[in-house]
Amino acid sequence: MAIKNIAVFEKEFDIVYESINPLAKKDIVFLHGWGSNKEIMKNAFCNTLSEFRHIYIDMPGFGKTSNEYILHTNDYALIIEKLLYALNSQPLAIVGHSYGGKIATLLKPKNLILLSSAGILEPKSFKVKTKIFFAKLFKKLGLFNLTKAFRSKDVEAMSENMYETFKNVVNEDFTKYFEEFENKALIFWGEEDTATSLVSGKKIASLIKNSTFKSYKGDHYFFCKHSKDIAMKIENGIL
């Protein structure tokens, strides 16, 4: 594990990252999803892709990388871009899971690897719509403490700045960015994924012209069980 200080727009971040196979001549970068960290990516892929130097990153606000600011997805992309520059890395591929898939797409790598990526807006359930309605109502009335009661369990433990960051990024429509991506993309998905549906995965594959799509049995973290097959397909697809 190592730490690299990165400055972006007068904001400083001590980014925690880890490299595996440091003497390899080709780099592959792994970006985790929202609420996750580099360890889940490392545990899945550290024993695969032996021809690559792996770079696993804790993005600001996750894992061991702290964050004191309210950020947008473009900020995250710029932070990762500056980190890779500081590490003298020009990755052959960037792997992005869930929210990390959006950041990976913005970085426009030579080879984009998406694992159940976020970025396609999906219809909200009536329950979620009701929560949003009352949260906005209480906010307008100045009843800020009551708005916290409508937060989902996965955001209850967030600091206020990370909660504001979450609100900035959760409803982004990345259709335009997927359509504009011109390099090769390998897209992998969990068939029982309820966080980012299989329908969304197929839509992303239709938007990115130079892409392939493969689904596996499993949920949003399907890649933990299928990492060896995914790694083999990455090797066959980009080497």
Beta bridge partners of 216: 190
Closest CA to 151 of 173, 140, 141, 136: 136
pLDDT tens by residue, 52-75? 999 999 999 999 999 999 999 999
Is the confidence at residue 132, as pLDDT, over 60? no
pLDDT number for residue 150:
41
Closest CA to 6 of 69, 52, 93, 53: 69
Beta strands in 84-165 (DSSP E): 93-97, 111-115
Q: Per-residue b/e over 112-139, b at no fewer than 16 CB within 10 Å?
A: bbbbbbbbbeeeeeeeeeebeeebeebe
Closest CA to 118 of 203, 56, 42, 55: 203
Is the confidence at residue 141, as pLDDT, over 90? no
For residue 61, how far is the Cα from the chain centroid? 13
Percent over 70 (pLDDT), the chain: 85
Q: Write out the two tokens for 194.
A: 């309820």
3-class DSSP state of 99: helix
Give a three-class secondary structure readout of 189-202. Answer: EECCCCCCCHHHHH
Q: What angle do CA 104, 73, 232 make, to 5 degrees?
A: 15
CA-to-CA distance for 53 and 94, rounded, in angstroms? 12
Question: pTM surpassing 0.75?
Answer: yes
CA-to-CA distance for 160 and 186, rounded, in angstroms? 35
pLDDT tens by residue, 87-107? 999 999 999 999 999 999 999
pLDDT number for residue 9:
87
Closest CA to 33 of 107, 89, 143, 116: 116
